[in-house]
Amino acid sequence: MERSFVPLVGEQMMNRGMEYLRGELAKHPTMRPELRAAVVYALAEAGDTKLAAALECAVVAAQGPGGPEALAMTGLAMLQVHECARTQVAAWW
């Protein structure tokens, strides 16, 4: 069976990318903190507004070894999605 190529445009590409990243977060609960933070940040930059649980996980993961970079990226993601209260909690760590 021959598959036809259908190019994705603008919003379709963004939505597929966000679906993929959300799926990776779900599949890999023990993802390295800095990688989890980068994925959450990418989702925030893409306009995903359903990040509360992912942000919470990222903050907890960032409190371990190698956390400063992860915590900084998670804080930027929080600011992007206007989670100011959580940003202050993250800054405390």
pTM over 0.75: no
Pair 36, 58: CB distance under 8 Å: yes
pLDDT-derived band at 6, boundaries 50, 70, 90: low
Tell me what pLDDT residue 93 has. Answer: 47
- Asked whether the predicted pLDDT for residue 23 surpasses 90, the reply is yes
pLDDT digits (tens, 9 = 90+) for 27-68: 998 888 888 888 988 998 888 878 877 877 777 777 776 677
Query: How much is the pLDDT for 69?
Result: 79
First to last CA, the chain: 55
For tokens 């800095």, the residue is 34
At a CB cut-off of 8 Å and minimum separation 6, what does 79 contact? 87
- Residue spans of the domains in the chain: they are 49-93
